[in-house]
Amino acid sequence: MAGPFAGLRVVEIATEISGPYATKLFVDLGAEVTKIEPPGGDPLRRWGPFPGGVTDPERCGLFEYLNAGKRCITLDLGDPAVRDLIAQADLLVEDLPPGRLERLGQLSPNLVVLRISPFGQTGPWRDRPASPLTLQAVSGWISSRDPDRPPVQAGARIAEYVAGAYGALGALTALRQARAGRVTEVDVSQFESLLSTLPYPMLMAERMRSLGLPANLRSSPMLGVVRAADGWVGINCLTGQHWLDVCAMLGLPEYGEHQIAIMLGGPERAEFFAKAAPLLAERTVAETVELSQALRIPAAPVNDGATVLDCPQYAKRGFFVDGGGFWWPGSPFRFSASVTPLRKSEPKIAATLRSRPEPFAGLRVLDLSTFWAGAYLTCYLGAFGANIVKVESIQRPDGHRYSGAFPFEGEDWYERSAIWQATNLNKLDLTLDLTSQRGRDIARRLAAQADVVVENFSPRVVEHFGLDYASLVSLKPDVIMVRMPGFGLEGPWRDYVGWALNIEQTSGMTAATGYADGPPCNLQGPADPIVGVHAGIALLAALEHRRRTGEGQLIEVAQIEVAACVTAEPVIEYSMNGVVRSREGNRQRGYLQGVYPTGEDGVWVALSVPHCDALDHDAFDQMVGSWTRTQTAAAIVETLRGQGIPAEQLTAADQMYDVPQLDARGFYEQFEHPVTGPRRYPGWPFRITPGPARHHRMAPPTLGQHNDEILRGLGFSDDDLAELRDRRVIGERVLNA
């Protein structure tokens, strides 16, 4: 018995985090991975943490987490044994400088090659020097969180996992359409990977400008990260009702009408927090979370490497596992069919799935998702050929439609959200009132025809509608259901409400980000697409299991578990040595680096220099900052790059459409929407060659745009459709909009 990708032979020539994380996911799914290390070993072996803090390349906790289950061998790339291993492989994963391994990638005519590099294998920035910090800077991940300090990076090396997850998704997608006798390449850009996980800042900047508002207008999540009696807690209002409930909970109802002003930092903000802070400090983290959740307010503990291990939801679900004397995250996904029979005569996946015009052509998907994580997955499937039917209702349309759209724009304001549109390309849109029997009956008829059903509500929602996995299996025994609850299908927090910030706070992302002497800092919401990417990997595994066995299954992707998988180091370090490392601001071991002001108001640059023992970091910051303040950003970047030093100006939202590297690689694609007209939407952060020439296939739909098309396909007549509209089971306009 073995995982769904048993028999898949992978060779890894990659170091640090991105490439090894991709292959770690393959190991989790049963693949055989051979890791080729250079004679000096993967540099990550010397990173730590180490037992007792004593450097030992054979006992690096983070290296062991990323490389457990692999066969690790040390070879020079010129050794003939490397050529032999690649010639026998199905998949090669490499992260060397572009062009370095091109000839080795041609050793097997049926090989899929996953190449991960800072900016991709093509384009004018292909050979540009980069570091993890400068990649965050140019992609928009570094943002201002304290007006009195430099903008700060995401901590715990979280960003470095992102390209690995995209790489795994891209490689498994390529395996579904690899062509016999020809190498298939998957070219992953780490820069584009980070850009792809932001909530479409370039589209929001364009929207704000069109409304006569500042293009880079930013607001603070409310209440954000606040102090409790025994630690930090995140209270994350997503709607106006959440805000009213928080004000009522704190006994401050008079501020209920001032949400926007407080979010934007108006004078009311300081006044409100001066009154709220003492009230919040009276309760423990657990008490605040419990009370908030009882009122359906999204709240979560801001866990660090110590408290995350005591978190009741992780503990009850047995998520963290013993890595041999310390703890690390378990798998980011759970399968109801956990093993796949391995037949000796089983042909390789790459030999059985050849010559598909698109990787997911013919796949029928019923999309019951809301907001971002689930919709991101179905957008991806639709882009590569799947037939996606997205279900909303005129009573309660997808809440993401209200993100970045405003009632003053007119009766159709819910059609104007650029964020919703960018996540719902490539889909047909159907409205169904699932509170009605007729609506549920139609949904069940669609489910009976679907290969895959996707949802990411809190668990009780689809169960209430009779659309849980047990119900779907009775309609279609081989259905695959992907459920993506925030906190999991089981456990004491099963029914907690939450969105990206809750996931990042619970998992440790937030606690690792910020300055040592300041509060934990929220990221910008990358958890949703990161979860969507992992769900895509899990779905590809389930599709392979069904190909081999004919069986469908339930996939559970708990969002807090995915986020913990890409925030592994704090847990490993604490469980190994009892240490909770301080937040590091913009610093990272191995580099002298930081984010520095320029001679231009509000313009910052990030730069990294390999560590020099002759300087400490404070002296370096002082020296570099005194120089950068006298220069323009362009002059700083040009001077440093000329010396091979990674340097980037921090990219603002309104600059993201003006990046020559993105234009050269065709990252954006324009589609015409019937209400909002043409918009340029981001694509995916990799190119599959040979493969689909475009990132997307269809413009985003309007509400209920495909009602007649979908329902006529089920046999409904014109009279039937009229009756459904009359009963408001279907419709094309939001009720009471």
494 lies in a domain?
A: no
92 lies in a domain?
A: yes
436 lies in a domain?
A: no
Residues 6+ apart with CB under 8 A from 243: 222, 237, 256, 259
Q: Is the model's pLDDT at 349 over the cut of 50? A: no
Of the pLDDT bands very low, low, confident and very high (cuts 50, 70, 90), residue 351 is very low
Q: Is the model's pLDDT at 308 over the cut of 70? A: yes
- Give dist(CA 686, CA 489) in Å, integer: 32
Whether 228 and 194 map to the same domain: the answer is: no
- Write down which residue in 300, 331, 362 finishes a domain: 300
| Residues 581 and 619 sit within 8 Å (Cβ to Cβ) | no
pTM (two decimals):
0.96
Whether 181 and 229 map to the same domain: the answer is: no
Question: Per residue in 414-444, pLDDT tens?
Answer: 999 999 999 999 999 999 999 999 999 999 9
- Give dist(CA 472, CA 479) in Å, integer: 7
- Write down which residue in 300, 331, 363 finishes a domain: 300
Question: Per residue in 529-566, pLDDT tens?
Answer: 999 999 999 999 999 999 999 999 999 999 999 999 99
| Helix segments in 353-493, DSSP class H | 373-383, 418-423, 437-449, 460-464, 469-475
690 lies in a domain?
A: no
Whether 32 and 161 map to the same domain: the answer is: yes
- Give dist(CA 607, CA 587) in Å, integer: 11
Whether 120 and 49 map to the same domain: the answer is: yes
Neighbour order of strands in the sheet with 387-392: 334-335, 553-556, 480-483, 452-455, 364-367, 387-392, 428-431
Q: Which domain holds residue 54?
A: 9-199
Whether 194 and 229 map to the same domain: the answer is: no
Whether 241 and 161 map to the same domain: the answer is: no
Q: Is the model's pLDDT at 204 over the cut of 50? A: yes
Q: Is the model's pLDDT at 612 over the cut of 60? A: yes
Q: What is the pLDDT of residue 487?
A: 97
Residues found in the chain: 737
Whether 134 and 62 map to the same domain: the answer is: yes
Question: Per residue in 72-92, pLDDT tens?
Answer: 999 999 999 999 999 999 999
Of the pLDDT bands very low, low, confident and very high (cuts 50, 70, 90), residue 25 is very high
Residues 6+ apart with CB under 8 A from 631: 598, 599, 639
Question: Per residue in 689-706, pLDDT tens?
Answer: 999 999 999 999 999 999
Q: What is the pLDDT of residue 240?
A: 86
Whether 246 and 177 map to the same domain: the answer is: no
- Lookup: tokens for 609: 């220099």
- Give dist(CA 366, CA 371) in Å, integer: 15
Question: What is the end-to-end Cα distance of the chain in Å, rounded?
Answer: 54
Of the pLDDT bands very low, low, confident and very high (cuts 50, 70, 90), residue 102 is confident
Whether 119 and 192 map to the same domain: the answer is: yes
CATH number of the structural domain spanning residue 48: 3.40.50.10540
732 lies in a domain?
A: no
DSSP code per residue over 254-272: GGGGGHHHHHTT-HHHHHH
Q: Which residue has the tokens 């979280």?
A: 158
3-class SS string, 180-239 = CCCCEEEEEEHHHHHHHCCCCHHHHHHHHHHCCCCCCCCCCCCEEEEEECCEEEEEECCC
Q: Is the model's pLDDT at 352 over the cut of 60? A: no
Average pLDDT, the chain: 93
Whether 234 and 160 map to the same domain: the answer is: no
Please count the structural domains in the chain.
2
Question: Per residue in 114-172, pLDDT tens?
Answer: 999 999 999 999 999 999 999 999 999 998 877 789 999 999 999 999 999 999 999 99
Residue 54: CB atoms within 10 Å? 8
**Least confident segment among 114-118, 171-175, 181-185, 346-350:** 346-350
| Residues 110 and 181 sit within 8 Å (Cβ to Cβ) | yes
275 lies in a domain?
A: yes
Of residues 735, 373, 323, the one with CA closest to residue 562: 373
Q: What is the pLDDT of residue 260?
A: 84
| Residues 591 and 609 sit within 8 Å (Cβ to Cβ) | yes
Phi, psi of 591 (to 5 degrees): -130, 150
Question: Per residue in 281-305, pLDDT tens?
Answer: 999 999 999 999 999 999 999 999 9
294 lies in a domain?
A: yes
What is each CA distance from 596 to 130, 152, 408, 461, 582, in whole angstroms?
17, 11, 40, 48, 21
Question: Per residue in 486-529, pLDDT tens?
Answer: 999 999 999 999 999 999 999 999 999 999 999 999 998 899 99
Q: What is the pLDDT of residue 544?
A: 95
Percent of the chain with pLDDT over 90: 85
- Give dist(CA 259, CA 224) in Å, integer: 13
Q: What is the pLDDT of residue 353?
A: 42
Q: Is the model's pLDDT at 731 over the cut of 60? A: yes
- Give dist(CA 416, CA 400) in Å, integer: 11
Of the pLDDT bands very low, low, confident and very high (cuts 50, 70, 90), residue 104 is low
CATH number of the structural domain spanning residue 264: 3.30.1540.10
229 lies in a domain?
A: yes
- Write down which residue in 300, 320, 355 finishes a domain: 300
Of the pLDDT bands very low, low, confident and very high (cuts 50, 70, 90), residue 355 is very low
Whether 181 and 44 map to the same domain: the answer is: yes
Question: Per residue in 205-247, pLDDT tens?
Answer: 999 999 898 888 777 788 999 999 999 999 999 888 999 999 9
Q: What is the pLDDT of residue 105?
A: 61
Q: Is the model's pLDDT at 103 over the cut of 90? A: no
Whether 275 and 169 map to the same domain: the answer is: no
